[in-house]
Amino acid sequence: MPERQAYIPLAAIRRVQVYINTPRRSLSDIKKATGADYIINGTLYNMTTGAVNCHLKAEGQVIAKPPYTVYGLSWDTGKDMRMEILPCGKRNYIAGAPLILHGEPLKKLTYASGTGGSRPRSAIGLRGNELALYCNTAGRTPERLRDELAKAGWTQAVMLDGGGSSQCDFAGQKITSSRKVQHLILVYLEQEPEEPKGEKPMVEINAYSKKKDGGKKLSTNFTVKEFACSDGSDAVLVAPRLVMVLQSIRSHFGKAVTINSGYRTPQKNAAVGGAAQSQHCYGTAADIVVKGVTPANVAAYAREIMPDWGGVGIYTRQGFTHVDVREVKADWKGT
């Protein structure tokens, strides 16, 4: 049965959002609209009225405040995620049924009788300095879920809504449901470092039309259309220096190079949460996958080509390498 787990270093998180799904969008529509990297369903709610049953606060607004206190997760940005007693202060927060507290599995779990038994489950918590997410479609009792998460090293855990509400998209690893839940938790990752304000890439950049020039060869193995923005726009910006670097990578490994993201319009870049001065907006960057080669190995060779200039980002769990041809050297690791 499908099971998805994700562990995200807190330092790699740019933002965690509680998305109130008043338009009742599907998971795929929310992904498309927000560009979030990780999505999971939220806590329990009344399917008839939409009222949330457990403590929930989003963007400074208290969504639900039942007449009891309970341990749950709170945060400002997401890097500072922690378990504490809810409701609390000015931070965002979400509660459910606590499963693991400060590294100790709770011996006696407290949850509504209607949420017991064996059913699909979802959970959120921490594993040391990592945000931990879990979703499955197989039957789990709350007690079995607690034990499995403890065995996986979770140090804090809260059970979220389950059954037909269980759904997620963990950087492309999905569990889908026909149910459009009342709210979801969205995680956005840090992207490539921003350029200093006012700085622009001091490299040659060529402009093309996808419609007219899409099939034009820029090198032995790359054409214009491979660099086009995924929003369907016609304009394509490409730096010849970037093409040279990618062709060198292609020739070195002797394997196909897929460009996941090349040029981005400012609108597309904002939609996917890219850095304000992202190299993608100038046609000087590409997120690539080399068939059968790890992102780390691709990055290592890219750094050989660009020993003291260019940006190289390793995204191991997402399975790609970011390469750009900025004038200064920049290295980082995503997830």
- Per residue in 41-83, pLDDT tens? 999 999 999 999 999 999 889 999 999 999 999 999 999 999 9
Q: Which of 149, 70, 139, 161 has the alpha carbon at shortest distance from 105?
A: 149
Average pLDDT, the chain: 92
- SS3 annotation, 19-39: EECCCCCCHHHHHHHHCCCEE
| Cα–Cα distance for residue pair 124/151, rounded to 1 Å | 15
Peptide bond into 87 cis (omega under 30): yes
Distance of CA 23 to the CA centre of its chain: 22
| Cα–Cα distance for residue pair 155/83, rounded to 1 Å | 10
| Cα–Cα distance for residue pair 154/289, rounded to 1 Å | 31
pLDDT band at 201 (very low <50, low <70, confident <90, very high): low
User: Between the CA of residue 107 and those of 104, 153, 169, 252, 328, what are the distances in Å?
Assistant: 9, 17, 31, 56, 54
> For 310-325, b where at least 16 C-beta lie within 10 A, e where not — what string?
bbbbbbebbebbbbbb
The dihedral formed by the CA atoms of 222, 226, 228 and 231, expressed in degrees to the nearest 10: 180
Q: Is residue 244 helix, strand or coil?
A: helix
pLDDT above 90 covers what percent of the chain? 77
**Residue 272: what pLDDT?**
76
| Cα–Cα distance for residue pair 8/127, rounded to 1 Å | 9
pLDDT tens digits for 29-51? 999 888 899 999 999 999 999 99
What number of other Cβ atoms are within 10 A of residue 90's Cβ?
8
CATH 3.30.1380.10 domain span(s) along the chain:
206-333
pLDDT band at 90 (very low <50, low <70, confident <90, very high): confident
| Cα–Cα distance for residue pair 160/118, rounded to 1 Å | 14
Who wins on pLDDT, 197 or 203? Answer: 203
**Residue 171: what pLDDT?**
84
pLDDT band at 85 (very low <50, low <70, confident <90, very high): very high
Who wins on pLDDT, 163 or 199? Answer: 163
Residue that the structure tokens 């879920």 belong to: 145
pLDDT band at 193 (very low <50, low <70, confident <90, very high): low
pLDDT tens digits for 291-326? 999 999 999 999 999 999 999 999 987 889 999 999
Say if pTM beats, i.e. exceeds, 0.85. Answer: no
Mean pLDDT of 183-212: 77
**Residue 268: what pLDDT?**
86
User: Between the CA of residue 116 and those of 125, 168, 247, what are the distances in Å?
Assistant: 20, 21, 56
Mean pLDDT of 124-148: 95
Q: Is residue 29 helix, strand or coil?
A: helix
Question: What is the topology classification, in CATH, of domain 206-333?
Answer: Muramoyl-pentapeptide Carboxypeptidase; domain 2 (3.30.1380)
Residue 200 above 60 pLDDT? no
* Residue type for position 34: T
Residue 194 above 60 pLDDT? no
Backbone angles phi, psi at 34, to 5 degrees: -105, -25
Residue 111 above 90 pLDDT? yes
Among the ranges given (152-166, 238-252, 261-275), the one the predictor scored with the smallest mean pLDDT: 261-275
